[in-house]
Structure 1
Amino acid sequence: MKTELIIRSSSSDIDFALLKNGRLIELHKEVNDNKFNVGDIFLAKIKKTLSGLNAAFVNVGSEKDAFLHYHDLGPQLLSSSKFTKLVSTGKLKEFTLKNFHFERDINKNGSIDQVIKSGQNLLVQVVKEPISTKGPRISSELSIAGRHLVLVPFSDRISVSQKISNRKEKERLKRLVKSIKPKGFGVILRTVAEGIKVAELDRDLQNSLQRWVNMCKQLPNAKAPVKVLSELNRASSILRDIFDDSFTSIVTNDKALYVELKEYLERIAPKKASIVKLYRSKIPIFEKYSIERQIKTAFGRTVSMPKGAYLVIEHTEALHVIDVNSGNRSNKANSQADTALEVNLIAASEIARQLQLRDMGGIIVVDFIDMHSAEHRHKLYEHLKNEMKSNRTKHKVLPPSKFGLVQITRQRVRPEMVIKTKEENPNKNGEVEAPIILVEKIENQLERIVSKHKKVVLHTHPFVASYIKQGIPSLQNKWFFKYKKWIKVIPRDAYQYLEYHFFDANNKEIR
């Protein structure tokens, strides 16, 4: 597995594309004026409490007030509030909590009016960015993420990622952390901590602790609402969360970002620092790595898949709906049931990729092709769960219902990635799909029909014909090398922009 991170920087934002074996898996955008990222910590002011919702609206400086539910306060709220007040007034100058006297835990099923009040200052952390008309969702249970572990102030608990299944390794990690953990802080060991030595864990712990101390130093002069600790920039946070030995290159067109990434990688993986490269070519970076093409073909309402199958993705206010279609594919499977299973397995892999790529959250309902075999339904369910394992966002996949629908819930922490794939129609008013999507459709249909006919001729609009013929090697040349058959391309002035038809040797249309 070859993993690459390609970063395109412009004056207004930064785009991050994660590729696995050249295929686009994740796409992120960091807008320069985004003030509320997941993980940011604010000194905020309670605006008002709502006993009916058992929640409070909190002023964090956002256009819409942030939402804080009682269950997001954390058991050590009283200790956190006391600490914030003492540090803000200058009465406490020791920030490591070793001499701090902790208060009792709050009642698990208590009322928000009993523990916080309007006008009170409170340290809170963003857990969900502002989406649509809603303000950010926040928690007063703070955490500071490092490469191998997460530091949790006002706690004493040590826990290990569930993805580390080896019991001896879990016990080893707990034992090591217990020997280095400062008093008053809990630690969550991440999946990448598996096999890591105590010196590296301690270095990571001290870095996170220093970030906490630096944050506390700002409090005496801070006036709420104000950000007191920023999450790492998106590039560094992606590397912190997913970097492993499969990474072969990290490429950016921004010199400052290049230096920053190189320095960060020298800290977390010195042997891999050389894979960070500065892109200098005149060809746009996303064009060079075929990312722009993949974006156009992956973000439309219809998503093509191998063997003629395709997905239709619809979005509503309440949920997302995905319909799986077999298309006009040739039936090479032994039976209709085997065909349905084959298409559904292909679709499950693409759906897992789409959820990650678009960062779709909330409820997703998938209408797979009907399968009457219980064995086939179970196989599909296990395959989908397995494909979703690489999805870092918290999610749950339910077994197929009696109607053959599969329901997925996926945590929504930031706005969904939406990219317009349609362009202005040059023939008339309205919009049409981007030409690159048309080329993808032509190639999918060609793959399905080329082996069944001795001669295949493509009739298409002159603009599209020109695109297919241009370059060395051209798309037409590539088809010849792939299929060992010359596909004649005829430009047709009478055709509309996205119209095309295939014809055989007898000039009969191939459908």
Structure 2
Amino acid sequence: MNTELVIDVKAEEVVIALLKDKRLVELTTEKTSVKFAVGDIYYGKVKKIMPGLNAAFVNVGYEKDAFLHYLDLSPQFYSLDSYIKQCIARKGMPVAKLKLEPEISKNGKIGDVLSVGQYVAVQVAKEPISTKGPRLTSELSIAGRHLVLMPFSEKVSVSQKIKSVEERKRLKRLIESIRPKNFGVIVRTVAEGKNAELFDSELTELVERFETAFKHLRDIEPPKLILGEIDRTSVILRDILNPSFENIYVNDLALSKEIKRYISTIAPEKEGIVKFVSTEVPIFDHFGVDKQIKSSLGRTVSFKNGAYLIIEHTEAFHVIDVNSGNRVKLGDDQESNALEVNLAAADEVARQLQLRDMGGIIVIDFIDMQQAENRQKLFDKMRSAMELDRAKHTILPLSKFGLMQITRQRVRPEMTVTTTETCPVCHGTGKADAAVLVIDKIEDQLEFLVEEKKIKNLVLKVHPFVEAYLKKGFWSLRRKWAFKHHIHLKVVGVPSFYIYEYKFFNRFNREIEPE
């Protein structure tokens, strides 16, 4: 399977599209000013103890206090607390020199462990969603490419996705032989077949990251970020980079160099797949991503031979309805036709869950099937389609009403993209200026930029229909304007533009704001 990443860098955000065989399967947006991302470790202050919830609210700097349940406390919480105190007293210390404390009780009370005003080290387990603040855990971990480091633990575990029993035993023995003292390790799926030298180097790096972050506790005042997760782009690369990756396209030169440096540390042989792309049209238009976003993220999603999904969202759960539409029946009867539509729908549902990052409870209303054998086929197909989904999920078999329930881990807000737009021509009034006037408006702004701003090298971006009109004939309007004003003028068609939308850019591809 050919896997590609297309990264669109904007002033306020970075949008990352993951394509498999040119088909959009994942879309993530990273705000440049984002805080409280999953994996960030904060030094916070307990603000309130809630005995009824057996939880505490912790100030980590967000507008609302973050939530820390007793069950999310690390069993080694006392060891973590002891380490923090010794780091403050000594300005840092190796974890290996710490004497581990007894574990907390599994059935204890939050008030027995935490008190108001206490300083704690916590990690973001869920980003702020809707009206809720971040959800926290004190079971700290630092993820690397092949391993996850768990401070104050002695446990070594291997990913269940590694199927070979012999390989699992080999990896466990190997890690146990090189594991740093007072650190537990989780072996990730991509570690399969790798050698001890690689693991030893990564463990050393992760231990250094953790201990360096805690060296400065004495000098900071909570709430404060003490160890940030790497950016979302690097997280995706760290988690999913594999031999099937053929290209990573970026429209920002600085970020492309940064990604190259990062890949050189985790997979040096793949460094050449990173490519800086400078196009006159937006990078998502250039690779056809924008069109896929608009067609895949609306309320109705078509998927095969006229069949379609209707996706509705509520506060409590998500509902997906499968419809055969005006599809021509290819089977001999209703049962075989329903099975074919349902099997195709399962693939699209799995893609939609990942693409929109839908979490919580999802209820899917498939087309009714009478035969138990066919219902089992659909269940097996759904499980197979969800295998590549990195979010934790549980799938239940079809109920007698033809409903399938899925629970999917939600750690950040759901991806929402508006696919309907207010008419840019009439602005919702139902009336528009005469089409011929848009050319006059373009020429008026062109004259202003040339005469007042003294700009002699311009790029005009318009809808392809308008581009064709401006370039029509040898003595086209574009040539007339360039000759009249003694300038260099280039006209570029952008498919995602509205029919009357236009923008001027300078020769450095920076937009010139109208005045």
TM-score interval for Structure 1 and Structure 2 normalised by the shorter chain: 0.7 to 0.9
Amino acid at match of 1:246: S
Identity fraction in percent: 53
| Per-residue deviation, 1:202 | 1.1
Which of 90, 113, 122 is matched with 2:111 structurally? Answer: 113
The within-5 A match list for 1:438-477 is: none
1:20-419 → structure 2 map (5 Å cutoff):
20-88=20-88, 90-91=89-90, 93-95=92-94, 97-419=95-417
Q: Distance in 1 between matches of 2:82 and 2:267?
A: 39
Q: Quick one: distance in 2 between partners of 1:394 and 1:407?
A: 14
Q: Secondary structure at the match of 1:304?
A: strand
Instruction: Name the amino acid aligned to 2:332.
Output: N
C-alpha contact 2:25 2:354 (8 A) present in aligned 1 = yes
Distance 2:321 2:415 in 1: 20
- The number of equivalent residue pairs is 436
Q: Output the amino acid matched with 2:217.
A: L
The residue matched to 1:29 in structure 2 has which SS? strand
Where does residue 490 of structure 1 map in the other structure?
none
- The secondary structure found in structure 2 opposite 1:343 is helix
* Distance in 2 separating the partners of 1:465 and 1:139: 52
In 2, the alpha carbon distance for the partners of 1:39 and 1:166 equals 29
Instruction: Quote the Cα distance in structure 1 between the aligned partners of 2:172 and 2:227.
Output: 28
Shift of residue 267, structure 1, vs aligned partner: 0.9
Quick one: structure 1 residues 218 and 315, their matched pair in 2 at CA, closer, same or farther if it must change by over 3 Å?
Answer: same
- The one-letter code sitting in structure 1 at the alignment partner of 2:301 is V
Q: Which runs of 5+ in 2 are unaligned?
A: 431-462, 470-498, 500-515
Q: What residue in structure 1 maps to residue 12 of structure 2?
A: 12
Secondary structure of 1:227's aligned partner: strand
Quote the Cα distance in structure 2 between the aligned partners of 1:270 and 1:122.
38
Aligned mates of 1:99, 1:360 — CA distance in 2: 43
How far does residue 199 in structure 1 lie from its aligned partner after superposition? 0.6
Task: Report the alpha carbon displacement of residue 428 of structure 1 after superposing the two structures with TM.
Answer: 8.8
Distance 1:428 1:123 in 2: 51
Structure 2: which amino acid aligns with 1:188?
Answer: I
Quote the offset at 1:427 in angstroms.
7.5
Q: CA deviation at 1:465?
A: 13
Mapped partners of 1:93, 1:162: distance in 2: 35
* Deviation at residue 210 of structure 1 after TM alignment: 1.3
Amino acid at match of 1:149: L
Per-residue deviation, 1:377: 0.3
Q: Deviations over 1:129-188 (max 9, x none)?
A: 000100000000000000000000010000000101111111111111111111000000
Shift of 1:114: 0.4
2: distance between equivalents of 1:395 and 1:21?
Answer: 24
TM-score (norm 2): 0.83
Tell me, yes or no, if the aligned pair for 1:315 and 1:321 is still in contact at 8 Å.
yes
**Cα distance in 2 for residues equivalent to 1:427 and 1:213:** 60
How far apart in 2 are the matches of 1:8 and 1:430?
A: 33
Could you tell which deviates more after superposition, 416-425 or 374-383? Answer: 416-425
After superposition, the C-alpha distances for 1:55-80 in whole angstroms (9 at most, x for unaligned) are: 00000000010000000001001111
The Cα of 1:94 is off from its aligned counterpart by 2.1
| Structure 1 residue 264: Cα displacement | 0.9
Structure 2 match to 1:444: none
For 1:452, the equivalent position in structure 2 comes to none
Rounded to whole Å, the distance in 2 between the matches of 1:388 and 1:370 is 21
Aligned equivalents of 2:317 and 2:92: distance in 1? 49
Distance apart, 1:93 and its partner CA = 3.5
Instruction: Report the Cα distance in structure 1 between the residues aligned to 2:427 and 2:215, rounded to whole angstroms.
Output: 62
Q: Provide the C-alpha distance between the structure 1 equivalents of 2:320 and 2:26, rounded to a whole number of angstroms.
A: 19
Q: Deviations over 1:40-92 (max 9, x none)?
A: 0000101111111000000000001000000000100111111112212x236
- Superposed displacement of residue 101, structure 1: 1.1
What is the CA–CA distance in structure 1 between the aligned matches of 2:278 and 2:208, rounded to whole Å? Answer: 36
Post-superposition CA distance 1:192-213 (Å, at most 9, x none): 0100111111111111111102
Question: What secondary structure is seen at the aligned counterpart in 2 of 1:236?
Answer: helix
Which of 205-214 and 396-405 deviates more?
Answer: 205-214
Q: Which residue of 2 aligns with 1:501?
A: none
Q: Helix, strand or coil for the counterpart of 2:18?
A: strand
CA contact 2:39–2:123 (8 Å) conserved in 1: yes
Counterpart CA distance in 2 for 1:84 and 1:218 is: 10
**Counterpart contact for 2:43–2:225, Cα < 8 Å:** yes
> What corresponds to 2:506 in structure 1?
none
Structure 1 counterpart of 2:360, which letter? G
CA contact (8 A) 2:6 2:248 kept: yes
**Contact residue 424 and residue 430 of structure 1 kept, 8 A:** no
Q: Which string of whole-angstrom CA distances, capped at 9 and with x for unpartnered residues, describes residues 1-36 of structure 1?
A: 100011000110000000000000000000011111
The answer (yes or no) to whether the contact 2:142–2:148 under 8 Å persists in 1 is yes
Q: Structure 2 counterpart of 1:4, which letter? A: E
- Distance, in Å, in 2 between the alignment partners of 1:181 and 1:223 is 33
